[in-house]
């Protein structure tokens, strides 16, 4: 039993990392905030202040009293929701199984076709539609809350359209995965997990490759950054050259985020020919040029340090651990007498909730582990951003600290989370810690080089 428990803990560790790695592989985001124009030396890019305000250099993450209360209130709601929503999702899946809805979806599919893929498509249409509708009121309430707090400007028509697109994508991808899952279970009831895992590896690579090309444009508008701001592209190429890389302008994109949100962000996404750095137009509008260069340097860090590829590798390990645990749990669950009357065995489409519930639960309890990995990756990117912009922007550490302040103030990031809250919820280092690190990281003052950029 001890051996099993130890192995289970190891599996949870890998699953937790995989949860973050999957997100990291999809897009390593910057997410942070305030402002700081200074006088640039002759070899630095020009400093501009888009808001026309006086320079305000920060020494710690602070918010005005009204925004402090606003940010704390939103954070508390988020912390509670971070626990209740996953548990609610698990409850919905359990009730769909318990009340026989999953079996009805199966019967509905089998009555209309004998082809496994089309059966899975019909089943997934019913299953994911009900599951999505059960969560829609919660999502709508959060959208209203974000609009009320001026974080989001997207109208309800656009929001509903995006929700519909998300459902269609879920049904399409879900049909492929459900078909693969149950075909392997029927073929090899005891060893399905290894076959399914091997089949998932190329699928994950394909999804990461296609996301910026096919999925992202369904929800936001993108254009080459050079078409929006050629001078900014020229300045970014200075950063690229400083890092000894080649990131062609064709891989630099502007996202029209201002149509939906007031937040600022940038991220790296894609794989191989689809790999790219994306900067939101809100970031360009609300940050000075040196701050944008640091944000780009952070994202370039993800690019250079191969965080996407590392995330894929860790995802593969975590997925393997996950399917092993899920195989154990589902085998026990399906063999229970109370379950046998509603489903026909492990290869029955109606058992999908039995496979999904352990996955959601394991992902939930492993959240702190996944966040440890995520914070480590984001800290590395912060460090790389500081190193690659050193001497390219005046007082680059202060510029980075100011950019974090801007990020925190615009996004209403919690100004005083506990260390436990950071451990459980935060997939980036806390903004206050990022500011302090930016202000104090200075190996050059000791006659040393940076770790990543020499």
Question: What is the arithmetic mean of pLDDT over 350-377?
Answer: 93
Q: Are 330 and 90 in contact (CB under 8 A)?
A: no
pLDDT tier for residue 335 given thresholds of 50, 70 and 90: confident
Q: Distance between alpha carbon 288 and the CA centroid of its chain, in Å?
A: 26
Lowest mean pLDDT among 238-247, 250-259, 381-390: 238-247
pLDDT tier for residue 56 given thresholds of 50, 70 and 90: low
pLDDT tier for residue 244 given thresholds of 50, 70 and 90: confident
Cα–Cα dist 279/265, whole Å: 7
Asked whether residue 6 carries a pLDDT value surpassing 70, the answer given is no
Q: Where are the domains of the chain?
A: 2-221+285-446
pLDDT tier for residue 28 given thresholds of 50, 70 and 90: low
E strands present in 181-238: 222-224
Tokens 């702190």, residue located:
368
CA distances (Å), origin 315, targets 56, 307, 401: 41, 12, 32
Question: What is the arithmetic mean of pLDDT over 305-327?
Answer: 91
pLDDT tier for residue 341 given thresholds of 50, 70 and 90: low
Asked whether residue 45 carries a pLDDT value surpassing 90, the answer given is no
CB 150: neighbour CB atoms within 10 A? 12
Q: Are 136 and 165 in contact (CB under 8 A)?
A: no
Asked whether residue 276 carries a pLDDT value surpassing 70, the answer given is yes
Q: What is the pLDDT of residue 46?
A: 37
pLDDT tier for residue 315 given thresholds of 50, 70 and 90: confident
Tell me the three state secondary structure of residue 68: helix
Q: Is the pTM of this model over 0.75?
A: yes
Q: Residue 45 gets which letter from DSSP?
A: P
Q: Which of 253, 250, 259 is nearest to 296 (CA)?
A: 253
Token output for 438: 């930016």
Q: What is the pLDDT of residue 48?
A: 46
Q: Are 287 and 264 in contact (CB under 8 A)?
A: yes
Asked whether residue 32 carries a pLDDT value surpassing 70, the answer given is no
Question: What is the arithmetic mean of pLDDT over 308-322?
Answer: 89
Q: What is the pLDDT of residue 245?
A: 85
CA distances (Å), origin 398, targets 99, 272, 441: 58, 34, 10
Percentage of residues of the chain with pLDDT beyond 90: 77
Average of per-residue pLDDT values in the chain = 88
Q: What is the largest CA-CA distance in the chain?
A: 78
Cα–Cα dist 12/1, whole Å: 16
> pLDDT tens digits for 93-118?
999 999 999 999 999 999 999 999 99
Asked whether residue 366 carries a pLDDT value surpassing 90, the answer given is no
Cα–Cα dist 209/273, whole Å: 8
> pLDDT tens digits for 177-225?
999 999 999 999 999 999 999 999 999 999 999 999 999 999 999 999 9
> pLDDT tens digits for 65-82?
999 999 999 999 999 999
Asked whether residue 40 carries a pLDDT value surpassing 50, the answer given is no
Q: What is the pLDDT of residue 1?
A: 38
E strands present in 256-319: 266-269, 276-280
Q: Which of 363, 380, 425, 422 is nearest to 14 (CA)?
A: 363
Q: Residue 44 gets which letter from DSSP?
A: S
∠ CA 371-374-378 to the nearest 5 degrees? 140
Q: Are 409 and 34 in contact (CB under 8 A)?
A: yes
pLDDT tier for residue 345 given thresholds of 50, 70 and 90: confident
Question: What is the arithmetic mean of pLDDT over 152-157?
Answer: 98
28-47 CB burial, b ≥16 within 10 A, e <16: bbbbbbbbbbbebeeebbeb
């Amino acid at each position: 039993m001890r051996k099993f428990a130890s192995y289970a803990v190891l599996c949870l560790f890998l699953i937790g990392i995989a949860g973050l790695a999957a997100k990291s592989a999809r897009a390593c985001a910057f997410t942070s905030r305030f402002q700081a124009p200074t006088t640039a030396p002759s070899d630095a890019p020009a400093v501009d202040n888009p808001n026309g305000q006086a320079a305000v250099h920060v020494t710690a993450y602070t918010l005005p009293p009204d925004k402090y209360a606003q940010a704390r209130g939103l954070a508390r709601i988020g912390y509670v929701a971070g626990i209740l929503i996953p548990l609610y999702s698990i409850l919905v899946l359990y009730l769909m199984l318990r009340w026989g809805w999953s079996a009805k979806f199966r019967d509905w599919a089998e009555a209309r076709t004998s082809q496994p893929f089309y059966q899975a498509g019909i089943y997934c249409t019913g299953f994911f539609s009900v599951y999505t509708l059960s969560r829609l009121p919660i999502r709508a309430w959060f959208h209203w809350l974000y609009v009320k707090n001026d974080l989001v400007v997207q109208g309800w028509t656009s929001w509903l359209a995006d929700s519909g697109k998300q459902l269609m994508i879920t049904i399409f991808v879900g049909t492929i995965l459900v078909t693969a899952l149950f075909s392997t279970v029927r073929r090899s009831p005891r060893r399905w997990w290894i076959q399914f895992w091997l089949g998932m590896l190329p699928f994950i690579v394909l999804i990461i490759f296609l996301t910026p090309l096919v999925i992202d444009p369904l929800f936001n508008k993108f254009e080459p950054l050079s078409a929006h701001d050629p001078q900014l592209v020229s300045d970014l190429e200075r950063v690229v050259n400083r890092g000894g890389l080649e990131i062609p302008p064709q891989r630099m994109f502007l996202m029209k985020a201002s149509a939906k949100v007031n937040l600022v962000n940038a991220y790296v996404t894609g794989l191989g020919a689809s790999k790219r750095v994306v900067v939101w137009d809100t970031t360009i509008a609300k940050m000075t040029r040196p701050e944008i260069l640091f944000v780009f340097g952070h994202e370039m860090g993800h690019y250079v340090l191969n965080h996407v590829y590392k995330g894929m590798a860790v995802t593969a390990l975590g997925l393997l651990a996950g399917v092993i645990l899920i195989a154990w749990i589902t085998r026990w669950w399906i063999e229970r007498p109370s379950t046998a009357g509603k489903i026909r065995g492990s290869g029955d489409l109606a058992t999908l909730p039995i496979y999904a519930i352990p996955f959601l639960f394991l992902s939930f309890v492993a959240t702190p582990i996944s966040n440890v990995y995520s914070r480590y990756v984001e800290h590395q990117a912060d460090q790389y951003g500081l190193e690659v912009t050193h001497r390219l922007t005046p007082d680059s550490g202060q510029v980075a600290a100011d950019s974090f302040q801007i990020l925190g103030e615009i996004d209403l990031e919690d100004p005083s989370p506990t260390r436990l809250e950071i451990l459980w919820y935060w997939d980036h280092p806390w903004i206050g810690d990022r500011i302090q690190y930016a202000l104090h990281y200075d190996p050059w003052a000791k006659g040393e080089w940076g770790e990543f950029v020499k």
